[in-house]
Structure 1
């Protein structure tokens, strides 16, 4: 049995849909907060477990009988590590045979500007300390985030203006990350494994601008922004100062090369090359 947490989220949904191609639905369980959002999973024969990372009773009830548990990182960044500890404790108590976790592929956790990302590496340490067999999926930035990250279709009028310098990102589609994760989970565990799931190429924001220009025939430019001015612009748009600083930190990490690592792990698990930047942007912007 494989339990997928965060099962109605975008990554969790992608994992389950791919798992259904490999194993019977009766061998898949979904841990969800809101059962009403999981009717489609029930209709596919997937078992539901209802609860949350804060509800230790629901976690302990969900774990018995599970061979593999996929912990998809929680979205509550401030409380993430504590919540993940609850999942690890419940999995250990139930004697789960493999605990998997969706972490982040960042070059040097010790020099991160966006300190909230450290929660992923603290969780990795918790999992390793638990003594449970583990599989870690360190994921690169989703290509799917680019439209929202850059301001949607407004970039076709004003261009791309973020403080990312010449930083590069090994972008990959979320759906292909989910597919790769499912492929790994459907294979019997062979010791502890860490996969770094990245695109096959690291792209700069100049590359993104050039790809969008080519796809649309409209010139899209990239102009590196000043971090202080960029933060002021974000606050001017109504974002709280704390959130604005978090976004600046995230983009500064890109400028510093934190997202540039490239591996072949995603390609290996997919059995093909990941979707290219041009094809991915064509899909995401419906061009």
Structure 2
């Protein structure tokens, strides 16, 4: 039995759909949801649902009963994520789960000076807990989603260009769907115990190159401007971006500029059995429908 946490999120839903598409029995998949009503769509496919909350250890321990593998999809409540995911790991142990898989992140700098330190702490804490738990484990070091690029590009790029403080440093951004498919392959396969997989693209691409792709797609010259970090952060505030997102967006730009997402190493193509979706393919598919 495979249990997917965060099942109603984009990655969780996609992973379940890939499992079904590969012929994995629906009655051997459990979706963990916080709201039982949101699990109705899974039940239509014959998937079991369990109700549980990352903040409630007892609900998790009960939900994990009978599961052999648990996919822990990292939570979005960054301030409380370390404790929440500690609950998940401990509940998996208490319920007799054999194998836990965790969606962590690609990085180079694990110190407090990292521009991603505000996100990294909970990931690193969870990885350490999992490795010390005695459970079989698989760590997935997910690179930045290609799906995040439109957020950084903005809606007015044909008129105003791309204004994003990532410099000209490239990153091996990969699509969420490719990561979900690779995750489904790991969940439904064997021999992945005590492994850490790098889920990055086989190409690194910079924002100047992304602006070039947008120019090709639109037939208009799309400029790219990389402001100083302080200027970029100030512009986010003036644009009315909510405070809880300004730090995340600015920090991600800093991380890209400092090379945190650049890598020539990946397991994604091998896990997929094909080349991952390129940035050009993703952007073409995204913008052709708009």
- Could you tell me whether the CA contact under 8 Å between 1:98 and 1:189 is conserved in 2? no
Q: Deviations over 1:98-129 (max 9, x none)?
A: 00000001122224123222221111111111
1:123 corresponding residue in structure 2: 126
Instruction: For 1:240 and 1:213, locate their aligned partners in 2 and report how far apart those are by CA, in whole Å.
Output: 29
Q: How far 1:208 sits from its partner (Å)?
A: 0.5
* Deviation of the 1:247 alpha carbon: 2.5
The verdict on how the C-alpha distance between 1:235 and 1:29 changes in structure 2, with shifts beyond 3 A counting, is same
**Matching residue of 1:270:** 272
Q: Specify whether residues 242 and 276 from structure 1 end up closer, same or farther in structure 2 by C-alpha distance, changes over 3 A only.
A: closer
- d(CA) in 2 for partners of 1:30, 1:206: 40
Q: How far is the alpha carbon of 1:228 from its aligned partner?
A: 0.9
**2:151, 2:236 → 1: CA distance?**
14
Tell me the alpha carbon deviations over residues 176-207 of structure 1, each in whole angstroms, 9 at most, x when there is no partner: 11000000110124430110101111100011
Deviation at 1:150, TM superposition (A): 2.1
Alpha-carbon RMSD across the aligned residues, in angstroms, is: 1.4
Could you tell me how far 1:241 is from its partner in structure 2? 5.2
Distance 1:154 1:69 in 2: 41
Conserved? CA contact 2:62–2:95, under 8 Å? no
Deviation by residue 1:106-162 (Cα, 9 ceiling, x = unmatched): 1222241232222211111111111111001110111011111221x3112111111
Moved more, 31-40 or 168-177: 31-40
Match of 2:189 in 1: 187
Distance 2:208 2:49 in 1: 44
| Residue 216 (str. 1) matches residue 218 (str. 2) | yes
- Determine if the alignment matches structure 1 residue 163 to structure 2 residue 165: yes
Give 1:28's aligned residue: 29
CA contact (8 A) 2:182 2:268 kept: yes
Following superposition, the deviation at residue 32 of structure 1 comes to 0.7
TM-score by length of 1: 0.96
Matched with 1:154 is: 156
Q: Are 2:197 and 2:266, in contact at CA under 8 Å, matched by a contact in 1?
A: no
